[in-house]
């Protein structure tokens, strides 16, 4: 198929813009922005073409470049384009494209310096994420996963001359790296177990694992473990990388700090790249996780807990981006919950809608921040509604979607996640617990979302800048409008409750993910979940749970309205007393991780002493012994030719005598 | 078209000999000519013609099926002899190019080139020798011009002294070789390799044969600069003009190896190892040579002398080709040894030619004198870095692959301890090779050194050697396959 010949270009175009911005950016009119916009625009067009081709029933699964031939380990670069990948490609390239345009307003118009570096980082970030999405095997995915991590470090620390950004960048890098260690071990484990790490096809590790569990072990080496146990270990190791990148408890601490980066970068990180990478990875190898009920339950529980836990912290934050950061953690918790309870389609759906409305919210927040001259404190805002209507209405659309209010995008997807959790949870108390936490989080989400909207846009201006905000240009408004529209309508592609009620065939995303390559379709995952993992769905009308969650969301929003509406709202958070301190301090998660880091430093210091003393001592010893013996050997060369002749003859005689004795010549 | 007569198989050697004669004729017509273009041009044309002939013969398959035996088996042209002729002529071409600038203003240029050509002829004959008589004659044809070439800088005490030492040690070694040949002749009743191979088993004179074999081995060890016959090498390489050091340390050493390979595998054979364990002797020699070469190189302050010792160390690696025989991987081990010699021919020649360049600029001989040279002559220094890293076995040049496969073949043949010692030595060698790189690129220049001009011939030679060294990574199989085939034909 012709379309797929251009698949590599999707990732290569932003890479080209990275190279251009890096080397030629400073000579270009917009310092590399135009190259980035063109490249991501090209990627978007190609991605849509891929999606249309996939919609026509075609898929693509090819090796492109082989590092090591399949005899020992199959290390190669390849491309897998199926419905899931095509959907993700469109999401990532669309968000990246809009973020590039928005950056014109946020960075260029604000007169930032170092723009070529910024656009180079943005291009490489997009390229890495697109490469990650296109990857047809875990090895390649790991390479791009690490590149994504590197780019996040570059961009979060973009303003490296201040104190906080470099430190936040380091934290993001180190915390995600901690998860990636597990991922790396998991990848190696997959290789030694299956000798391959491809996702799809009859020779993929997913299929091999399925066959091994069916009793046909073949060449699969489980090191003496029961296959189920061993695969669960591998699944949990890979999950380590996912928990780090997707900012799930307990490795979520890097994400709020990452707000130190430029706001468009935050939008990119939270909506399409980096954080999405973790969830996408689980979805990508869902055929593997669907075999492992224990791991699924852990994923569901982590997800549900993270959703609630992060939502509570978002309640008390003062800064607009901090609220959004905790909401991201919470929303990715929902996705993990969806995946864990067997709602593969629901989680993918939420990944998509969240990408749109979260990108929208961040860009909206960016617009507010431009207007507020880079003051992010919501208590200094207020009343911006009338002064920046485009931002207000789009931001409101995003907020309604985030809070899960009917009929905005987030309602449909979050509701489907919760519905899946409930129907499976009725047969499994652990999943039911995860559901309960997810449901409770809806209340908090409604509350913090509307607290944020009310404090930012409603009431009387609480500072001089809020009275006279800085205007924003088309390049800010255009992305907001596009995303705002999507935040309203994106949910309509998969209205499960409506379909159930009316019997209409409108579950388009279900249809979309059902076809594709054999073994990596939602249909097959459903069979695996039922037959191997033993998931049973209870019969339940989707209407009642939908009404419950909508009611909770409205209750949260109503509570926020009753507390924070009016001209000059009070600071009610003080009434929480010591709970406020606890929430403001993020449950002391950072403190214990600092303590952990200190302990690690102590171990590192001991290792350093060992290295300096023992290892270097041995190395230095060897080299001085070598040099000393070298200088002795040098003395054999006296410069006197008679000595040479004598030594030469003696050497020959010695050889003759020894070999004569050995060979018995005499 | 009628098949070419058999004698054409010896075309490379004949062409080299004719070039030498042509140079002597030019010299007799216009003595003390300083016409560099004519002299160097003639030499280069003759060398390249010989190189082309060797490549042509190899490609057209002359070396297959046991090769061509002419003059009653005195000369055998097979894959191995052609492979080595390619090494010799390539090195000779590079040396000729470099000498174009190096000899500017010298009086005896015609003699110089004639001697180089005669020595190269000797090497080509050594590679094709089919009897011990021809081995000795061609051995001397190589040695005598070499002595004279080392002493070419007649007003330089170092050059003359080195030549005299080389001559004296060489005379002693030749005597040992000749005596060994006579003993082998006495035991087997023949000089041609076929006769020796036929009679060597049932002579009943094991002791005499053993002494003969070890003395022959000693003679070859002199040519390859293996311990304890290496004493001449550091002195001669240091004292000789730069291009001649390159010539001797690369081509002449390879000539010693080719003759050793052929005599020991074809004439003596592996069957006598139970009584005359020459494989063990080569193992001892390999270990002692690589260890002594590397350890001594590590403590030198003079770059040229460091390279001299490093070339002793490299000879130790190549000796693995003979020391790891009998392990079931004979063709591979020997073939990789030959390949390493070819790669070494380019990287080591290049390194010595860089020294010649430094001598041409007169910038001194120690590591410290090279400080900061990278900023003044970046291209040449980049080439030198390629040589150093490739010699150390870092994958910037073919030296990495040839060393890797050579050690790997030794491990495959069961001589893992030999490979282990070689690897330890390799690690040590990294130290002194990197000293050069560090001095050139990372040290500040001390004092005001001026570089006048960038001599075309020397630069061309150095860069050509560097390019080939790098290209030998992708083209490794093109070189290694014929080498392994040629080696397989010997057993």
Chain A residues in contact with B280 by the CB 8 A cut-off are 659, 662
Comparing CB atoms, the residue among B215, B276, B299 nearest residue A634 is: B299
pLDDT tops 90 at residue B137 = yes
Same domain for A640 and A496: no
- Cα(A426)–Cα(A541) distance, rounded to whole angstroms? 13
At residue A70, the pLDDT reads 53
Query: Distance (Å, rounded) from C-alpha A653 to C-alpha A658?
Result: 9
Residues in A closer than 8 angstroms to B172, CB to CB, are: 645, 648-649
Residue A18 lies in a domain: no
- A557 with A648, same domain: the answer is no
Greatest mean pLDDT among A462-466, A518-522, A583-587: A518-522
CB contact under 8 Å between B169 and A659, yes or no, is: no
Residue with the larger pLDDT of the pair A626 and A73: A626
Q: Out of B231, B297, B431, whose CB is closest to A644?
A: B231
B residues 154-193 lying closer than 8 A (beta carbon) to A: 164-165, 168-169, 172-173, 176
Same domain (yes/no): A616, A561: no
Domain presence at residue A490:
yes
- For residue A658, the chain B residue with the least C-alpha distance is B281
Bridge partners (DSSP) of residue B61 are none
Render pLDDT for B337-396 as a digit per residue (tens, 0 to 9). Answer: 999 999 999 999 999 999 999 888 888 888 888 888 888 888 899 999 999 999 998 888
Q: What digits encode the pLDDT tens for the residues A130-142? A: 999 998 888 888 9
Question: Could you tell me what percent of chain B has a pLDDT over 70?
Answer: 98
Reading the block at residue A424, the tokens are: 């499976």
Q: Six-digit token pair at A179?
A: 């998860």
The crossing angle, in degrees rounded to 10, of helices A616-634 and B278-298 is 100
Contacts of B228 in chain A (CB under 8 A): 647-648, 650-652
From A644, which residue of chain B is nearest by alpha-carbon distance?
B231
Q: Do the domain assignments include residue A48?
A: no
What is the distance between the alpha carbons of residues A179 and A226, in angstroms, rounded to a whole number? 25
pLDDT digits (tens, 9 = 90+) for A81-132: 888 888 899 999 999 999 888 888 887 777 777 888 888 888 999 999 999 9
Cα dist from A437 to A69, A249, A418, A422, A543, whole Å: 48, 14, 10, 11, 20
Are residues A317 and A436 part of one domain? yes
Mutate: best of A619, A621, A632, A644, partner B, most B CBs <10 A: A644
Window 268-307 of B: residues touching A by CB (8 A cutoff) are: 275-277, 280-281, 284, 292, 295-300
Residue of B nearest to A657 (CA): B211
DSSP-derived pairing of the beta strands A75-81 and A60-68? antiparallel
- Provide, as residue numbers in chain B, all residues whose Cβ is less than 8 Å from the Cβ of A641: 164-165, 168-169
Q: What is the DSSP letter of A539?
A: P
User: Coil, strand or helix: which one is B76?
Assistant: strand
Q: Are B402 and B422 in contact (CB under 8 A)?
A: no
Note whether A648 contacts B: Cβ–Cβ < 8 A. Answer: yes
Mean pLDDT for A149-176 is: 85
Would you call B165 and A659 a contact, using CB atoms and an 8 Å cutoff?
no
Q: Mutate which of B293, B295, B427 to disrupt the A interface (most A C-beta within 10 Å)?
A: B295
Length of chain A: 666
Confirm or reject contact between A619 and chain B (CB < 8 A).
no
Which residues of chain B make contact with A637, given a CB cutoff of 8 A?
Answer: 231, 234-235, 296
Residues 6+ apart with CB under 8 A from A288: A205, A206, A209, A231, A235
| Higher per-residue pLDDT: A501 or B210 | B210
pLDDT in tens, A229-263: 888 888 899 888 888 888 888 888 888 888 888 88
Q: Is residue A345 domain-resident?
A: yes
Residue among B215, B277, B299 minimizing CB distance to A627: B299
Residues A552 and A408 in one domain: yes
In this structure, the answer to whether residues A458 and A602 fall within a common structural domain is no
CB contact under 8 A, A659 and B277: yes
Is the pTM of the predicted complex or chain greater than 0.90? no
Contact B296 A630 (CB under 8 A): yes
Q: How far apart are CA A623 and CA B74, in angstroms?
A: 50
| Average pLDDT taken over every residue of chain A | 83
Q: What is the pLDDT of residue B346?
A: 94
| Contact across the interface for A627 and B284, Cβ inside 8 Å | no
Burial class from Cβ neighbours inside 10 Å (0-12, 13-18, 19+) for residue B91 reads buried
Chain A contacts of B298, Cβ < 8 Å? 626-627, 630
Is it the case that residue B260 has pLDDT exceeding 90? yes
Tell me, rounded to whole angstroms, the distance of Cα A535 from its chain centroid: 27
Predicted confidence at residue A533, as pLDDT, reads: 77
CA dist B414 and B328 (Å) reads: 9
Q: Token match 């009316």: residue?
A: A502
Round to whole Å and give the CA distance between A542 and A499.
Answer: 10
Which residues of A are less than 8 Å from B229 in CB distance?
648, 651
Question: pLDDT tens, B308-339?
Answer: 999 999 999 999 989 998 888 888 899 999 99
Handedness of CA B455, B457, B460, B461 (dihedral sign): negative
Global ipTM: 0.87
pLDDT of residue A68: 61
Domain span including residue A499: 292-506+523-570
Interface residue A223 vs chain B (CB under 8 A): no
Question: A557 with A615, same domain?
Answer: no
* Mean per-residue pLDDT, B260-272: 90
> A581 in a domain, yes or no?
no
Task: Give the range among A423-437, B9-23, B455-469 with minimum mean pLDDT.
Answer: A423-437
CB burial string A67-96: b at 16+ within 10 A, e below: eeeeeebbbbbbbbbbbbbbbbbbbbbbbb
CA angle B328, B329, B330 (to 5 degrees): 100
Query: Could you tell me the pLDDT band of residue B490, with boundaries at 50, 70 and 90?
Result: confident
Residues of chain B with Cβ-Cβ distance to A666 below 8 Å are 207
CB distance A645–B281 less than 8 Å? no
| Residue A644 with chain B: CB contacts under 8 Å | 165, 168-169, 231-232
d(CA B353, CA B365): 13
Quote the CA–CA distance of A453 and A324 in Å, as a whole number. Answer: 11
How confident is the model over A624-640, as a mean pLDDT?
78
In sequence order, the β-bridge partners of residue A60 are A81
Q: Please, which residues 206-225 of chain B have a Cβ atom closer than 8 Å to chain A?
A: 206-207, 210-211, 214-215, 218
The count of C-alpha atoms lying within 13 angstroms of the C-alpha of A278, restricted to the half-sphere facing its C-beta, is 33
Helix (H, G, I), strand (E, B) or coil at A459: coil
CA distance linking residue B198 with residue B195, whole number of Å: 5
A664 touches chain B (CB under 8 A): yes
Alpha carbon of residue B124 to chain centroid: 12
Most A-contacting residue of B204, B205, B231 (CB-CB within 10 A), to test interface: B231
Tokens representing B426 are: 């390799």
Do A645 and A497 share a structural domain? no
d(CA A332, CA A281): 13
A623 near B CB under 8 A: yes
Q: Which of A16-30, B243-257, B264-278 shows the lowest mean pLDDT across its residues?
A: A16-30
d(CA B198, CA A454): 105
Q: Are A414 and A477 part of one and the same domain?
A: yes
Rounded Cα–Cα distance for residues A93 and A272 (Å): 8
Nearest residue of A to residue B234 by CA position?
A637
**Dihedral sign from CA coordinates of A138, A142, A144, A149:** positive
Q: Where are the alpha helices (DSSP H) in A104-163?
A: 115-134, 138-156
* A593 vs A660, more confident: A660
Closest by Cα among A452, A415, A483 to A557: A452
Cβ of A627 and B169 within 8 Å? no
Q: What is the pLDDT of residue B1?
A: 45
SS (H, E, C) A573-585: HHHHCHHHHHHHC
Nearest to B168 among A645, A650, A663 (CB): A645
CA of B103 vs chain A CAs: smallest distance (Å): 28
Residue A572: pLDDT over 70: no
Return the pLDDT at A547.
86
Q: CB distance B207–A660 less than 8 Å?
A: yes
Domain count, chain A: 2
Among residues B294, B291, B287, B288, the alpha carbon closest in space to that of B308 is found at B294
Clarify whether residues A553 and A611 are in a common domain: no
pLDDT in tens, B41-71: 999 999 999 999 999 988 887 767 777 888 8
Q: Report pLDDT for B338.
A: 93
Interface test with A, best of B298, B308, B313 (most A CBs within 10 A): B298
In this structure, are A386 and A461 located in the same domain? yes
Task: Chain A: give the shortest CA distance to residue B368, in Å.
Answer: 18
Mean pLDDT lowest among A24-33, A476-485, B228-237 = A24-33
Encoded tokens for A91: 């999401």
Query: Which residue from A542, A547, A538, A549 is spatially nearest to A501, judged by alpha carbons?
Result: A542
Q: How far is CA A508 from CA A20, A46, A408, A464, A519, in A?
A: 39, 22, 17, 49, 20
In terms of CA atoms, which chain A residue is nearest residue B173?
A648
Of the candidates A163, A660, A284, A605, which has an alpha carbon nearest to the alpha carbon of residue B275? A660
Least confident window among A221-230, A545-554, B127-136: A221-230
Same domain, A527 and A623: no
| Residue of chain A whose alpha carbon sits nearest to that of B211 | A656
Q: Which tokens sit at A9?
A: 């270009």
Q: Does A219 touch chain B (CB under 8 A)?
A: no
**Residue A102 covered by a domain:** no
For residue A655, give the nearest of B164, B173, B214 by CB distance.
B214
């Amino acid at each position: 198929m012709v379309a797929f010949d251009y698949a590599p270009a999707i990732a290569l175009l932003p890479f080209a813009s990275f190279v251009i911005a890096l080397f030629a950016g400073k000579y270009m009119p917009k310092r590399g922005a135009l190259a980035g916009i063109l490249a991501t625009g090209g990627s978007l067009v190609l991605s849509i073409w891929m999606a249309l081709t996939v919609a026509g029933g075609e898929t693509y699964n090819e090796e492109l470049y082989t590092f090591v031939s399949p005899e020992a380990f199959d290390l190669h670069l390849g491309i897998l384009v199926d419905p899931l990948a095509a959907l993700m490609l469109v999401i990532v390239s669309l968000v990246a494209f809009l973020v590039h345009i928005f950056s014109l307003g946020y960075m260029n118009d604000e007169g930032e310096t170092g723009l070529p570096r910024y656009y180079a980082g943005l291009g490489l970030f997009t390229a890495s994420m697109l490469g990650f999405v296109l990857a047809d095997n875990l090895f390649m995915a790991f390479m791009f996963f690490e590149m994504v991590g590197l780019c996040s470090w570059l961009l979060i620390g973009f303003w490296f001359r201040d104190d906080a950004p470099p430190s936040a960048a380091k934290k993001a890098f180190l915390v995600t790296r901690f998860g990636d260690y597990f991922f790396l071990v998991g990848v190696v484990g997959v290789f030694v177990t299956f000798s391959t790490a491809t996702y799809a096809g009859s020779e993929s590790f997913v299929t091999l694992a399925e066959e091994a569990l069916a009793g046909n072990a073949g060449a699969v080496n489980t090191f003496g473990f029961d296959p189920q146990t061993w695969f669960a270990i591998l699944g949990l190791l890979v999950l380590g990388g996912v928990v780090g990148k997707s900012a799930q408890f307990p490795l979520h601490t890097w994400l709020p700090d990452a707000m130190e980066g430029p706001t468009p970068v935050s939008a990119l990180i939270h909506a399409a790249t980096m954080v999405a990478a973790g969830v996408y990875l689980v979805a990508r190898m869902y055929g593997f996780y669907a075999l492992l009920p224990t791991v699924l339950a852990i994923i569901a529980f982590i997800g549900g807990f993270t959703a609630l836990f992060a939502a509570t912290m978002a309640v008390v934050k003062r800064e607009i981006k901090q609220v959004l950061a905790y909401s991201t953690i919470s929303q990715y918790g929902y996705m993990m919950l969806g995946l864990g309870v067997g709602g593969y389609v629901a989680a993918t759906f939420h990944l998509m809608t969240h990408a749109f409305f979260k990108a929208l919210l961040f860009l909206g927040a960016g617009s507010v921040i431009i207007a507020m001259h880079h003051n992010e404190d919501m208590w200094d805002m207020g009343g911006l509604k009338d002064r920046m209507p485009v931002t207000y209405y789009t931001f409101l659309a995003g907020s309604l979607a985030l809070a899960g209010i009917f009929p905005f995008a987030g309602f449909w997807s979050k509701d489907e996640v919760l519905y899946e959790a409930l129907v499976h949870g009725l047969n499994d108390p652990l999943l039911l617990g995860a559901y309960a936490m997810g449901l409770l989080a809806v209340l908090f989400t409604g509350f913090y979302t509307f607290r944020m909207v009310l404090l930012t846009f409603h009431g009387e201006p609480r500072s001089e800048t809020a009275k006279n905000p800085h205007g924003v240009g088309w390049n800010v408004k255009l992305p907001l409008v596009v995303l705002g529209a999507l935040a309203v309508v994106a949910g309509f592609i998969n209205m499960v409750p409506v379909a159930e009620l009316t019997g209409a065939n409108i579950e388009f995303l279900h249809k979309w993910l059902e076809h594709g390559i054999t073994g990596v379709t939602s249909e097959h995952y459903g069979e695996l979940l039922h037959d191997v993992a033993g998931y049973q769905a209870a019969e339940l009308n989707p209407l009642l749970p939908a009404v419950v969650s909508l009611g909770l969301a409205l209750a949260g929003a109503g509570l926020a309205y009753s507390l924070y509406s009016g001209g000059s709202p009070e600071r009610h958070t003080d009434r929480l007393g010591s709970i406020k301190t606890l929430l403001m301090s993020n449950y002391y998660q950072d403190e214990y991780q600092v303590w952990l880091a200190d302990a690690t430093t102590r171990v590192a210091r001991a290792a350093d002493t060992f290295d300096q003393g023992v290892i270097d001592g041995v190395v230095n010893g060897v080299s001085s012994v070598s040099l000393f013996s070298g200088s002795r050997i040098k003395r054999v060369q006296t410069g006197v030719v008679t000595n040479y002749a004598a030594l030469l003859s003696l050497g020959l005689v010695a050889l003759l005598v020894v070999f004569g004795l050995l060979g018995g010549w005499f | 078209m009628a098949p070419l007569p058999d004698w054409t198989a010896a075309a490379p050697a004949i062409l080299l000999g004719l070039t030498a004669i042509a140079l002597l004729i030019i010299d007799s017509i216009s003595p003390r000519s300083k016409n560099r273009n004519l002299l160097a041009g003639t030499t280069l044309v003759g060398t390249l013609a010989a190189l082309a002939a060797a490549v042509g013969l190899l490609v057209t398959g002359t070396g297959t099926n046991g090769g061509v035996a002419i003059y009653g088996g005195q000369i055998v042209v097979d894959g191995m002899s052609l492979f080595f002729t390619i090494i010799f002529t390539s090195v000779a071409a590079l040396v000729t190019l470099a000498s174009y600038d190096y000899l500017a203003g010298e009086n005896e240029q015609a003699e110089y080139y004639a001697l180089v050509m005669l020595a190269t002829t000797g090497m080509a004959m050594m590679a094709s020798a089919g009897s011990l008589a021809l081995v000795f004659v061609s051995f001397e044809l190589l040695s005598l011009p070499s002595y004279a070439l080392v002493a070419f800088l007649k007003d330089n005490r170092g050059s003359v002294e080195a030549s005299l030492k080389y001559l004296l040690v060489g005379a002693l070694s030749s005597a040992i070789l000749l005596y060994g040949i006579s003993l082998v002749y006495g035991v087997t009743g023949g000089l041609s390799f076929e006769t020796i191979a036929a009679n060597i088993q049932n002579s009943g004179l094991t002791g005499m044969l053993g002494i003969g074999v070890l003395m022959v081995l000693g003679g070859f060890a002199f040519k390859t600069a293996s311990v304890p016959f290496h004493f001449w090498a550091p002195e001669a390489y240091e004292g000789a003009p730069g291009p001649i050091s390159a010539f001797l340390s690369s081509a002449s050493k390879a000539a010693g190896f080719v003759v050793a390979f052929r005599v020991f595998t074809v004439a003596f054979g592996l069957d006598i190892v139970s009584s005359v364990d020459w494989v063990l002797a080569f193992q001892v020699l390999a270990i002692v040579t690589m260890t002594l070469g590397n350890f001594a190189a590590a403590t030198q302050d003079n770059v040229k002398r460091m390279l001299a010792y490093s070339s002793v160390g490299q000879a130790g690696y190549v000796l693995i080709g003979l020391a790891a025989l009998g392990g079931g991987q004979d063709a591979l081990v020997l073939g990789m040894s030959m390949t390493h010699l070819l790669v070494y021919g380019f990287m080591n020649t290049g390194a010595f030619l860089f020294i010649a360049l430094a001598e041409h600029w007169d910038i001194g001989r120690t590591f410290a004198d090279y400080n900061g040279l990278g900023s003044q002559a970046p291209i040449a220094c980049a080439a030198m870095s390629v040589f150093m890293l490739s010699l150390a076995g870092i994958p910037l040049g073919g030296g990495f692959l040839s060393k890797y496969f050579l050690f790997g073949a030794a491990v495959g043949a069961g001589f893992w301890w030999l490979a282990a010692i070689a690897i330890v030595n390799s690690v040590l060698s990294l130290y002194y090779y990197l000293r050069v790189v560090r001095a050139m690129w990372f040290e500040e220049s001390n004092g005001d050194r001026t570089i006048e001009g960038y001599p075309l011939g020397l630069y061309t030679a150095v860069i050509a050697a560097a390019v080939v060294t790098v290209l030998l990574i992708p083209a490794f199989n093109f070189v290694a396959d014929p080498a392994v085939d040629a080696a397989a034909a010997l057993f």
